[in-house]
Amino acid sequence: MARRKNALGLDIGSSSVKLVQLRESKKGIELANFSMAPLPTEAIVDGAVMNASVVVETIQGMVAAQKLKQKECAVAISGHSVINRKISLPAMTQEELDESIKWEAEQYIPFDVNDVYLDYQILQSRPEQGQMDVL
């Protein structure tokens, strides 16, 4: 019997933290757990985390209350410091893509790109057109 997978998601908002656990079942994907905890108004101001320890303690409390053991989690964050763009690029190797993403990021980030965390995901590869869409 194959072990069913769970997925954990965390949304850190300006006024609350939301935590969901999804479970794979015979019927498809089901919501296994949901919790939401408010954050003090001074914890996140204008999209910037001002009191990280309060945010961390809130998340730890939610995980403990739900008795979650899962180590991997998808996290959603927003704010003025988060920049995301969907771009179309020519098809290229992974090494070329790493360099291209860094160059593209420099067009949008007003400070040294080496001081930021960059991440990307290939959304769609279109080899017949020699293109790829990247987020």
Count of Cβ atoms closer than 10 Å to residue 23 Cβ? 14
Q: Which two tokens stand for residue 116?
A: 């930021």
CATH class of the 87-134 domain in this structure = alpha beta
User: Would you kindly state where each structural domain of the chain is located, as residue ranges?
Assistant: 6-77, 87-134
- What is the per-residue pLDDT for 2? 57
Give the C-alpha separation, 66 to 18, whole Å: 12
pLDDT score of 108 more than 90: no
- CATH domain 6-77 topology: Nucleotidyltransferase; domain 5 (3.30.420)
Name every residue whose Cβ is closer than 8 Å to that of residue 9 and which is 6 or more positions away in sequence: 19, 20, 21, 22, 73, 74, 75, 76
**Choice between 1 and 17, residue whose per-residue pLDDT is larger:** 17
Task: For residue 4, name the pLDDT band (cuts at 50, 70, 90).
Answer: low
pLDDT score of 78 more than 80: no
- What is the per-residue pLDDT for 119? 87
pLDDT score of 80 more than 80: no
- What is the per-residue pLDDT for 115? 85
The pLDDT mean for the chain works out to: 88
